[in-house]
A = this chain, B = another copy of it.
Amino acid sequence: MAVSTKPAREKVVALAGGVGGAKLAAGLQAALPTGCLTVIVNTGDDFEHWGLHVCPDLDTVLYNLAGLNNPEMGWGRQDEAWTVLGEMERYGGENWFRIGDRDLALHLRRTEWLRMGLSLTEVTDRLRRLLGVPSAILPMCNEAVRTLVHTEEGDMPFQHYFVRRRCEPSLVDLSFVGAESATLSPEVRKALNSADLVVFCPSNPYVSIDPILSVPGLRDLLRHSKTPKLAVSPIVNGQALKGPAAKMMRELGEMSSPLTVLDHLGDVLDGFVIDRADAELSDAVILPALVTGTIMNDLPSKERLAQDILAFAATLRTAPVPSAAD
């Protein structure tokens, strides 16, 4: 007999990169009781710009969960203004990474706090509280781990590849510089240990999820945890909904397919969510699979996907989960 073991206040941890991750995080926040969501966010994209500490993925998650995100641009703030950027151009400042005036204030405040000695975890928590976000938002670690993109045109920091070069150089490999010195923060460890469900958001597996998994101890903690862990494919119908995931797969000699995502992350997963457009692949998924609509255009579609995921997770708890090796 199937007995629901879903707790009254299920604690969900989402692992997220930028836009796609932030969308599902917003859906989960809407679907869950207040305070039940923790989002662990990639910081491999972080970099210094205009002398300030910029955390693109943390900010995208923060702005989405605060309802302040700019849905047209996919990043940055609503009702943004650009006076400072125009002046920075006058002073010969770099302008390939566009920081708006509202967005800038957050980078200023974060940099000020980091220079005072606060950790990135503490700073991020202050910011999300100030923006009225009820969910916990955790950087994957406090140490600097930086995604270095090895391309046929040489190595480049992630934002140079992603924004300055618009992902044009052909990918050869990736490394996460500093990962060997990073540590699992107490907050990340506690969130994962007390989670009732871990959701890998539909984020780029190579440059959003892998940096998170590169933090020493994190991948092992997930593999040994009995908590259901499932991933939502960021590839739909052979394409990435946003960003260079599909292009990267092809350049790495892989199919741009949900199965490539599954192959990449499968050892830590108990379930996999694919879009209806890929329904014919469900038989090839070696884990319990949910086929549903994964395209999130508005808050109702985000929340619906979140509810589908929560219901799917409940079924994983009620049945013995076959291991990926079965």
* Residues A81 and B105 in contact, CB atoms below 8 Å apart: no
Stretch in contact with the other chain, from A84-92, A157-165, A244-252, A304-312: A84-92
Distance A108 CA – B93 CA, assembled complex (angstroms): 9
A 89-116 to B, binary, CB cutoff 8 A, 1 in contact else 0:
0111100000001101110110110010
Interface residue from B52, B93, B109, B115 paired with A91 (Cβ < 8 Å): B109
Q: Which residues of B contact A102 (CB under 8 A)?
A: 83-84, 87
Distance A293 CA – B229 CA, assembled complex (angstroms): 81
A 157-176 to B, binary, CB cutoff 8 A, 1 in contact else 0:
00000000000000000000
Q: Which residues of B contact A117 (CB under 8 A)?
A: none
> In chain B, what residue has the closest Cβ to A106?
B91
Given known contacts A51-B115, A111-B51, A115-B51, A101 and B87 CB-to-CB distance under 8 angstroms = yes
Given known contacts A50-B112, A51-B115, A104 and B84 CB-to-CB distance under 8 angstroms = yes
Copies of this protein chain in the complex:
2
Distance A92 CA – B108 CA, assembled complex (angstroms): 12
Given known contacts A51-B115, A112-B51, A105 and B130 CB-to-CB distance under 8 angstroms = no
Given known contacts A51-B115, A108-B51, A127 and B91 CB-to-CB distance under 8 angstroms = yes
Give A211 Cβ to nearest chain B Cβ, in Å.
26
Q: Which residues of B contact A106 (CB under 8 A)?
A: 87, 91
Give A206 Cβ to nearest chain B Cβ, in Å.
31
Distance A127 CA – B87 CA, assembled complex (angstroms): 12
Interface residue from B83, B84, B131 paired with A108 (Cβ < 8 Å): B84
A 69-86 to B, binary, CB cutoff 8 A, 1 in contact else 0:
000000000000101100
* Residues A91 and B111 in contact, CB atoms below 8 Å apart: no
Distance A112 CA – B91 CA, assembled complex (angstroms): 11
Distance A104 CA – B100 CA, assembled complex (angstroms): 13
Distance A50 CA – B106 CA, assembled complex (angstroms): 11
Distance A307 CA – B179 CA, assembled complex (angstroms): 66
Give A50 Cβ to nearest chain B Cβ, in Å.
5
Given contact pairs A90-B130, A104-B104, a sample of 15 additional A-B residue pairs in the complex whose CB atoms are under 8 Å apart: A51-B108, A52-B108, A81-B83, A84-B84, A84-B101, A84-B104, A84-B105, A87-B101, A87-B106, A88-B105, A88-B108, A90-B131, A91-B109, A91-B127, A91-B130
